[in-house]
């Protein structure tokens, strides 16, 4: 399955010149919040901020599923859960463009193949580097691994703090949101489910 949400072209590179209309948009924003965009310290901010946003949203320029293309069948008889716990990530909420900062734990029960563990983190970042809501991010990571590896089970648990809640609005610090998605045996089999939950808790 292809997880691109739009065509890959044209691909802007972070080093490319920022189009004038994009710089103008950031300039307008700076002015609108009450600043002077011509102040010396802000002179290069529109272009710099635009490049930063291109980096925050670099996931649109990749298909996260492609990281799972190379798998290994040689597992030395290992047929138990593989878990990557506490992978740090950052994303941005699609409602406020505010940062989402957290960690994800990804587990799967292999079918016939396993994948290099760094690839699971790459799948996470491919979806996190987009405008997101945490629920969809969790579901997309789980589904991508399910489709790409054909494992017997997948579990994804994400815990994150949302800038739109901690830095604005109710300004509630220290509150994190937890979402989880279980597929295959982790969803359907009570024994597998409690085993993976115990591993996820550490």
**Residue 134 appears among annotated catalytic residues:** yes
**Residue 93 appears among annotated catalytic residues:** yes
CA distance 154 to 120: 11
**Residue 164 appears among annotated catalytic residues:** yes
Q: How far is the CB of 94 from Zn ion (least distance, A)?
A: 7
Which listed residue (35, 113, 159, 164) is catalytic? 164
Residue 95 lies near Zn ion (rule: CB under 5 A): yes
Omega prior to 10 cis, within 30 of 0: yes
Residue 164 lies near Zn ion (rule: CB under 5 A): yes
**Residue 35 appears among annotated catalytic residues:** no
8 Å CB contact between 170 and 152: no
Residue 93 lies near Zn ion (rule: CB under 5 A): yes
Q: How far is the CB of 164 from Zn ion (least distance, A)?
A: 3
Q: How far is the CB of 119 from Zn ion (least distance, A)?
A: 29
Q: Which is nearer to Zn ion, 79 or 94 (CB)?
A: 94
What positions carry a catalytic annotation? Answer: 93-96, 134, 162, 164
**Positions in the binding site for Zn ion (CB under 5 A):** 93, 95-96, 164
């Amino acid at each position: 399955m292809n997880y691109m949400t739009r065509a890959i072209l044209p691909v802007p590179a972070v080093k490319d010149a920022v189009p004038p209309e994009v710089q103008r948009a950031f300039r307008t924003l700076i002015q609108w919040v009450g600043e002077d965009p011509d102040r010396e310290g802000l002179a290069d901010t529109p272009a710099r901020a635009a490049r930063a946003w291109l980096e925050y949203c670099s996931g649109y320029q990749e298909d996260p599923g492609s990281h799972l293309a190379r798998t290994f069948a040689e597992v030395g008889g290992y047929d138990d859960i593989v878990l990557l716990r506490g992978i740090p990530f950052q994303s941005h909420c699609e409602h406020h463009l505010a940062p989402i900062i957290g960690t994800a734990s990804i587990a799967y029960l292999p079918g016939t193949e396993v994948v290099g563990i760094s690839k699971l983190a790459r799948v996470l970042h491919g979806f996190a580097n987009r405008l997101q809501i945490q629920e969809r991010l969790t579901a997309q990571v789980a589904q991508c691994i399910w489709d790409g590896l054909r494992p017997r089970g997948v579990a994804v648990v994400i815990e994150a703090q949302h800038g739109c809640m901690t830095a604005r609005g109710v300004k509630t610090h220290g509150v994190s949101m937890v979402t989880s998605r279980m597929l295959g045996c982790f969803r359907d089999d009570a024994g597998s489910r409690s085993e993976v939950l115990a591993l996820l808790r550490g």
